[in-house]
Amino acid sequence: QVQLAESGGGLVQAGGSLRLSCAASGNIFRFNDMAWYRQAPGKQRELLANITRGGNSDYADSVKGRFTISRDNAKNTVYLQMNSLKPEDTGVYYCNLRTIIGGFWGQGTQVTVSS
């Protein structure tokens, strides 16, 4: 029933910025934690950032100081602001929203950072 729509990915040069969005629709649940993951080709999906319903956030060491996660509970939306992008940030980015019945995944959005 819950559908997650991701947007904001694309091709950017190193040092540039992108802002990802993930909006839930058809939602009858209260979302708890929201998170962003990244999966590079041939690698496992990696947790990058997590934010609680109360707004407390945590980040992977690789993105601390460069990425910022935020949320709008009224819109059931989570954002990821990505600054100072590096080629190693390239991958498919997925949002994950957790509810009392489990988690929901976005479809993924490609981010490619060129040298």
DSSP for 62-105 reads: TTTTTEEEEEEGGGTEEEEEE-S--GGG-EEEEEEEEETTEEEE
Q: What is the pLDDT of residue 88?
A: 96
Mean pLDDT taken over the chain: 94
Complete DSSP assignment for 41-67: TTS--EEEEEE-TT--EEE-TTTTTTE
Cα–Cα dist 11/109, whole Å? 11
Q: What is the pLDDT of residue 28?
A: 62
What are 96's two structure tokens? 């994950």
Is the pLDDT at 72 greater than 80? The verdict is yes
Q: How confident is the model at residue 27 (pLDDT cuts 50, 70, 90)?
A: low
What are 45's two structure tokens? 């999906």
pLDDT, tens digit, 9 for 90 and up, residues 49-62: 999 999 999 999 99
Q: Which is more confidently placed, 28 or 9? A: 9
Q: What is the pLDDT of residue 2?
A: 85
pLDDT, tens digit, 9 for 90 and up, residues 73-91: 889 999 999 999 999 999 9
Mean pLDDT, residues 19-44:
91
Q: What is the pLDDT of residue 30?
A: 83
Cα–Cα dist 80/102, whole Å? 22
